[in-house]
Amino acid sequence: MFKQETLLEYLSSPEGINKIIVGIILVGAIINAIFITYSVRRTYGAAKQEREQLKIQQAKIDKLFPKKE
């Protein structure tokens, strides 16, 4: 196991600080990607559901008022 002083010394060094910053950036990027994926899927799903409802409504209208040619 690492000694606590050695680990803290490494994390306090410029190389350790760079690794901490890269880790924070990666975690932020992952959270951002999850949020974007969720938003896109939710928006696309809502649009798809709305199109389906419009098709059902149009089918009901066509059934009630058939077109005469």
Each residue of 17-51: pLDDT tens digit? 999 999 999 999 999 999 999 999 999 988 889 99
Q: Give pTM, 2 decimals.
A: 0.59
Cα atoms in the 13 Å half-sphere on the side-chain side of 66: 3
Residues for the chain: how many in total?
A: 69
Given a cut of 80, is residue 69 above it in pLDDT? no
Q: How many secondary structure helices (H) and strands (E) does the chain include?
A: 2, 0
What sign results for the dihedral spanned by CA atoms 66, 67, 68, 69? negative
| pLDDT band at residue 54 using 50, 70 and 90 as cut-offs | very high
